[in-house]
Amino acid sequence: MTMPEDPATQAQAAVAAAWAPPPYAEPDHFTEHEVTVGRGPLAVPGTLSVPNRQGTTAAGVVLLSGGGPFDRDETSGPNKPLKDLAWGLASRGVAVLRFDKATFAHREVAGAPDLTMSKEYVPHAVEAVGLLRRHPAVDPARVFVLGHSMGGKIAPQVATAEPAIAGLVILAGDTGPMHHAAIRVVSHLAAVVPDQVPQSAVDTFTRQAALVDSPCLTPSTPATDLPFGLPAAYWLELRDYDPVAIAAALGKPMLILQGGRDYQVTVADDLTRWQAGLAGRPEVTIRVYDADNHLFFPGSGPSTPTEYLQPQHVDPAVVSDIADWLRHTQP
């Protein structure tokens, strides 16, 4: 679960320390250009990173960010984890497409009363896959989707909507009910950073989550009464959404990665469901990076939100493992 970020907080933190390329990025190994994903008034801007290679086509991957109105880089304070991934993978021969979410590019979408997770992600993700498959430098049979946090949660649904997707990479994909996870996360924060998260926040989320579970939840329930201010339609869909069951029905190659220090999406609460639901599947690879937090930044000790405000980069081992898996995985 990626809790939606406050854009003003992001902007203030970004001023303090600008993003710099990670050591594993080799910008002379790829070129980037702007693209448009989708059509009509809800089209969004994106960036395509294409390896500089001749004579062969590359595997391609579409990146999906976590929950909230994120830009194409999944900017979190001074950090840009999806840009880290894009530059790291493109440096290793993978074509990468990332794009602004509609809730970032078109703020009216975020406030729409009929907004759901599927509407927020699936149409643009499918368009992005098609755009990448049509690119002459990309092997159309080897286009994958990589989703982080909620982007990983929705990735199986994207693959259901677009069967041409060759496989999935899921980074910290949450599997349990998000309103229950919100209580767990806020309770954790109230314990480790009580000066930032008071007990009253736990009480609020507990009350809101009970409403989500209640038969009293209807499409007309005010968003102000629900977690994160998301509309009732969002929670009505999420309440019945099971990413593991959808993934199990796909039969596609999957790489599922998890940070051991992640307090938002955890080994105990989320990864165990992937492991149980996909047990015995030879096409599924699951790895845990013990030192990594929710953004796959390495560290030590209990992870807290202040980590996200320190300039860091996605773990190089994560980038290398994803590139190797994409290189060797055949649909």
Distances (CA, A) of 189 to 195, 207, 217, 228, 248: 9, 17, 27, 16, 33
In terms of DSSP bridges, do strands 168-171 and 95-99 run parallel, antiparallel, or are they unpaired? unpaired
286 — phi, psi (to 5°)?
-125, 130
In terms of Cα–Cα distance, which of 273, 269, 234 is closest to 4? 234
Active site residue 149: yes
Looking at 294, 303, 313, 315, which residue is catalytic? Answer: 294
Active site residue 262: yes
Active site residue 294: yes
Dihedral class, residue 68 (left if φ above 0, else alpha if ψ from -120 to 50, else beta): left
Distances (CA, A) of 147 to 22, 63, 159, 170, 173: 20, 6, 11, 5, 7
Stated as kind and residue range, the H or E segment containing 196 is none
Query: Token pair for residue 60?
Result: 């391609």
Buried/exposed 63-83: b ≥16 CB within 10 Å, e otherwise = bbbbbbbbbbbbbbbbbbbbb
Looking at 149, 174, 179, 188, which residue is catalytic? Answer: 149
Stated as kind and residue range, the H or E segment containing 77 is none
Cα separation of 200 and 203, whole Å? 5
What number of other Cβ atoms are within 10 A of residue 189's Cβ? 20
Count of residues making up the chain: 331
Looking at 262, 269, 270, 315, which residue is catalytic? Answer: 262
Cα separation of 123 and 107, whole Å? 17
Could you give the 3-state DSSP secondary structure of residue 232?
A: helix
- Which amino acids are annotated catalytic? 149, 262, 294
